[in-house]
Structure formats: structure tokens, C-alpha cells
Amino acid sequence: MKLISVNVGLPRLLARGGTTFKTGIFKSAVQGRAMLRKTNLDGDRQADLSVHGGFNKAVYGYPSEHYAAWQAELPDSSRAWGAFGENFTTEGLLEADVFVGDRYRVGGAVIRVTTPRLPCFKLASKFQRDDMIERFLRSERCGFYFAVVEEGEVGAGDEIEFLRREEPTLSIAEVNRLYSSKSPDRETLRRSLDVKILPQSWRDRFQSRLDEIDALAQHK
């Protein structure tokens, strides 16, 4: 497993549909090494801390393996690492194999997986496509957020070393399906309630979905 690219960017103005707003989704590759701190990388900022950034979303990782699929689906000769707003473009980490709570050492830092990435209107605005949010969710190529356990310098080419897994847990792919599916699996919903490292708001959502399924079953 490897860190292919480290990408940072400062918020900029973007106009879409008659509205102008700030976004930090535009990222460019760092030349050399960058210091990873508790809430972000040096040289990187998030525009809206209510949905991006903070301790549980300090770093957004996205698998480099997904780029070929997007290139086939949405060709763009200028697409470069960081195109999806990710800080870490990775190799060897896929949503089905990465679990909530997993810890990794990369460069001088230790990071911990927290949640999948949920797309917002800024992704659609960057790609100038009204269907981008739906495409992103349907693809299940969501990527994953990391919290920073230990600060340290990171750089392209660093090995990503798996340290340990916290149990009970779910894979990022499973959590993503629970959140976005119209018909989530009941057993996986039940298991999600025991994943204490998931944010409380996510577990509350999954509890509500489970209650809805159980209520429907009782009325059949």
C-alpha cells in the first residue's frame, strides 16, 4: 500500500446556478513533503467546517484505482491526482478492504479511518454536472476520511503500513451502502450500532432506518 500523491488547496470562489460560494475541493499535488496536523495538512484548508474538516475528517483519501473507471465514464485529458478533492491519493486501499477504525502509519504520521465521503453540491459544481452526486453514490467509489492520531510529515511515495483493526467494525463499503441505499440490509444496520467509532449522528441515522424496517415488518 502506498501514498501516490499528497494534495492540498485553499478555499476559492466557485459560481454555479447563479450562486457564488467558497469551496476547498480544488487540490493540487504537493512537491516534496508536507506536515500532517490534527485537522489538516499544511497548505490545506476546508471552506465549510460543518461538513468538511475537523478532527474526524482531517484527511480525505481516494483510491488511485478509481481514476481509470472515472476516465472511461467521464473522459477528461486534464484530470490529475486530487481531482475528487482528496488529500491522499492512495494505492492498495479499497473501500471493501478498509474498515472503520483501521489504523495506518504513513510517513511520520498515524491515521485512523472514520467514515466514507458523502458527496455534496460542490462536487457537482466542480465537475459542472448536475448528475455527479448521483453518479458518485451509485459508483460506490466514495473514498474515506481519516482522523490524525499522530502528527507527522508525509509525502508521495510513502508506504502505508496497516497497524491494527478495531472490533466490532464494518467496511467503508458497507457503511456507504447503509447510508445511501433505499433498502439497507437489516443485519448490517444492526451491526452498525455496535461500531462505537462511527460518529453518533451516523449511528442515530442507522437506528432510525432499523426502526423503520422493523415497524414495516410488524405491519405486514
**Tens place of pLDDT for every residue, the chain, 220 residues?**
999 999 999 999 988 878 898 999 999 999 999 999 999 999 999 877 766 678 999 999 999 999 999 999 999 999 999 999 999 999 999 999 999 999 999 999 999 999 999 998 899 999 999 999 999 999 999 999 999 999 999 999 999 999 999 999 999 999 999 999 999 999 999 999 999 999 999 999 999 999 999 998 887 6
Domain residue ranges of the chain, discontinuous segments joined by +: 2-166
Cβ contact 192:206 at 8 Å: yes
Q: What is the pLDDT of residues 32-58, one digit of tens each?
A: 999 999 999 999 998 777 666 789 999
Cβ contact 152:109 at 8 Å: yes
Q: What is the pLDDT of residues 152-181, one digit of tens each?
A: 999 999 999 999 999 999 999 999 999 999
58-to-1, 34, 113, 193 alpha-carbon distances in Å: 20, 14, 10, 24
Nearest to 206 by CA among 194, 215, 218: 194
Q: Give how far the C-alpha of residue 192 lies from the chain's centroid of Cα atoms, to the nearest Å.
A: 18
Nearest to 119 by CA among 132, 103, 104, 128: 132
Q: pTM to 2 decimals?
A: 0.95
Q: How far is residue 28's CA from residue 34's CA, in Å, rounded to a whole number? A: 13
DSSP 10-45: --EEEEETTEEEEE----EEPSSEEEE-SS-BTT--
End-to-end CA distance of the chain: 48
* CATH of 2-166 given 2.60.120.10, 3.40.50.11540, 3.50.50.60, 2.40.33.20: 2.40.33.20
